[in-house]
């Protein structure tokens, strides 16, 4: 399942890598409107690429796994589908928040986000894995990432009065879900 997530990583990480230099060149104190617009557009355009790709990989997981690995890996499609859901957090700013904070010199915020992720994972991962096996481990990853990103959004709003532009992200997510539903119906 992790091998297929590389498809999304090939799209997401070059974008995320280019965001840090962009945010570090413009200070929010000097150019608030520009930084706020860049923040919102970064989340919007990253979501535009990652959300549909993630849903496509999740929907086609069974076919992809069976084609490349065979039916012996009959559990892998469900693991892949669940794990790929973590990439949907891009609409919340998953790839943008770290680069925004680091670019503004607020590395403490990034550290706190990472610390929340770690401190949430430490008790959740073994506990959920013990009871639910691999699905529990993936659920612990999803929960810890969500808490970390939520804290990052809270800090962005509190310290910099910046929020993602929820309307286009919601529309994009809805359009992606509708098209994914059509693909799902066609596959079945």
pLDDT given at position 13: 86
The residue among 8, 13, 44, 35 whose CA lies nearest residue 164 is 44
The pLDDT of residue 7: 82
Decide: helix, strand or coil at residue 119. Answer: helix
pLDDT tens for residues 9-61?
A: 888 888 888 888 889 998 888 999 999 999 999 999 999 999 999 998 999 88
> Which one, of 47, 48, 44, 63, lies nearest residue 4 by Cα?
63
* Per-residue model confidence (pLDDT) at position 91: 94
Helix%, strand%, coil% for the chain, nearest 5: 85, 0, 15
pLDDT tens string 112-150: 999 999 999 999 999 999 999 999 999 999 999 999 999
Entry pTM: 0.91
- Read off the tokens for 98: 């770290």
Given a contact cutoff of 8 angstroms between Cβ atoms, the answer to whether 86 and 55 are in contact is no
**Under a CB-based contact definition with an 8 Å cutoff, are residues 103 and 24 in contact?**
yes
pLDDT at 116: 98
- Binned at pLDDT 50, 70 and 90, residue 184 comes out as confident
The pLDDT assigned to 128 comes to 97
Task: For residues 174 and 73, give the distance between their C-alpha atoms in angstroms, rounded to a whole number.
Answer: 31
Distance CA 128, CA 40 (A): 35
Query: What single-letter DSSP state applies at residue 165?
Result: -
The pLDDT of residue 170 is 94
State residue 157's pLDDT score.
97
Residue 187: band (very low, low, confident or very high) from pLDDT cuts 50, 70, 90: confident
| Interval 68-115: pLDDT, tens | 899 898 888 999 899 998 999 999 999 999 999 999 999 999 999 999
Per the model's pLDDT, the better-predicted residue between 116 and 62 turns out to be 116
Mean pLDDT within 157-176:
94
Neighbours of 51 (CB within 10 A): 22
Question: Quick one: pLDDT at residue 15?
Answer: 86
SS3 95: coil
User: For 58-67, which contacts have Cβ atoms below 8 Å and span 24 or more sequence positions?
Assistant: 58/84, 58/85, 58/180, 59/180, 59/183, 59/184, 59/187, 60/183, 60/187, 61/1, 61/4, 63/187, 64/4, 65/1, 65/4
């Amino acid at each position: 399942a992790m091998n297929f997530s590389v498809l999304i990583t090939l799209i997401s990480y070059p974008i995320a890598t280019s965001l840090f230099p962009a945010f570090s060149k413009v200070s929010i104190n000097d150019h608030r409107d520009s930084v706020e617009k860049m923040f919102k557009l970064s989340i919007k355009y990253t979501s535009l690429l990652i959300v549909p790709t993630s849903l496509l990989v999740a929907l086609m997981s069974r076919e992809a796994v069976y084609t490349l690995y065979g039916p012996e890996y009959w559990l892998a499609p469900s693991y892949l589908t669940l794990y790929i859901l973590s990439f949907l957090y891009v609409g919340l700013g998953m790839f943008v928040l770290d680069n925004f904070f680091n670019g503004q010199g607020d590395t403490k915020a990034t550290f706190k986000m990472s610390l929340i992720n770690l401190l949430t994972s430490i008790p959740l991962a073994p506990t959920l894995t013990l009871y639910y096996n691999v699905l529990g481990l993936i659920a612990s990853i999803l929960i810890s990432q969500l808490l970390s990103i939520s804290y990052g959004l809270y800090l962005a709003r509190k310290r910099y009065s910046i929020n993602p532009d929820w309307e286009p992200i919601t529309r994009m997510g809805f359009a992606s879900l509708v098209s994914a539903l059509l693909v799902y119906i066609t596959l079945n």
